Amino acid sequence: MIQSLCLLLLFIAGTASAGIIASRDKQQLLLVQTVIRHGDRAATDRFATDESEKVLFRGLGEMSDDGINNAHKQGAAFRKRYVNELKFIDGRFLPSDVEFRGSPVSRVLMSAGSFGNGLFHKTPKGNDVTVPILTNKPDPVLAPQMNCLDYWDDAMDYLNLTSSADIKNTALEKMEEALWPDSCKEVPSNKADAIISELPNKAIRMPSSYNKCARLPAKQFMYDVIHLPTRWLGRSLQRNASEENSRAADKRAADEHE
């Protein structure tokens, strides 16, 4: 499944007005906007090995312990910069300072929660602060969807498909066949997401062919698959513009004839 799920953070200085102060030597930071991917997680549709399910015990698509820990470390790095050094936001967490916005998916929300725990100080009794996370479903900014029919019409032409039945899944399968690198021939193409997701996890022992494929070729494959529809969209826009120009020319010719 092709989906990009993200967390958007907005750090807003509550006392700021608008814009950057004109004097270069007195510039003032007013806004920080950060888009962050969710932390390490299991693949969304299958595991790479038989032992993977035991290590990634939360299930397919869910956060791993490494993902939780890394999100917390990232939050702590932001705390060092924006709380301790720049004193831009309050380390106790003020809703007027920071807005968390995330895709309504558990791995994203868990990442945001862990990040928030690292970003803000604990309460006087030693408990983590629970940050509110705003969600909007669907959210085209945080999780771009590939539902435009023009994408898949062009996919039929690009992949020489003869039937539009279940066009989205059929096109994705054909893309896998066409783009799967030769250096990964010992790895099933439908495990691309799984081997990439599990590569950093030292508790999972993947075959050497899986490790080799996951380090670069499989990542390049996923990148190519994700970006193919943007090329199709470009073709669709060109085709639509051409059709619009043709209609406009026909209309002008008809008007002149009258």
pLDDT tens, position by position, 184-224: 999 998 899 999 999 999 999 999 999 999 999 999 988 87
- Average of per-residue pLDDT across 139-158: 60
240 vs 252, residue with greater confidence: 252
Contact predicate 210/185, CB 8 Å: no
- How far is CA 209 from its chain centroid? 27
High-pLDDT (> 90) share of the chain, %: 46
Element (H, E) at 100: strand 98-102
- Residue 113's pLDDT band (cuts 50, 70, 90): very high
120 vs 249, residue with greater confidence: 120
103 vs 119, residue with greater confidence: 119
pLDDT tens per residue, range 17-59:
333 333 445 678 888 888 888 899 999 999 999 999 999 999 9
Tell me the C-alpha to C-alpha distance, in Å, between residue 79 and each of 120, 131, 157, 197: 7, 14, 50, 27
Output the pLDDT for position 53: 96
Please state, rounded to an integer, the average pLDDT across all residues of the chain: 79
Identify the weakest region by mean pLDDT among 14-23, 122-131, 154-163: 14-23
pLDDT at 107 over 50: yes
Element (H, E) at 6: strand 6-12
pLDDT at 179 over 60: yes
- Average of per-residue pLDDT across 132-145: 68
Output the pLDDT for position 90: 93
- Residue 8's pLDDT band (cuts 50, 70, 90): low
Output the pLDDT for position 17: 31
Question: What span, in angstroms and rounded, lies between the C-alpha atoms of 117 and 127?
Answer: 9
Tell me the C-alpha to C-alpha distance, in Å, between residue 85 and each of 15, 80, 89, 90, 107: 18, 6, 10, 12, 30
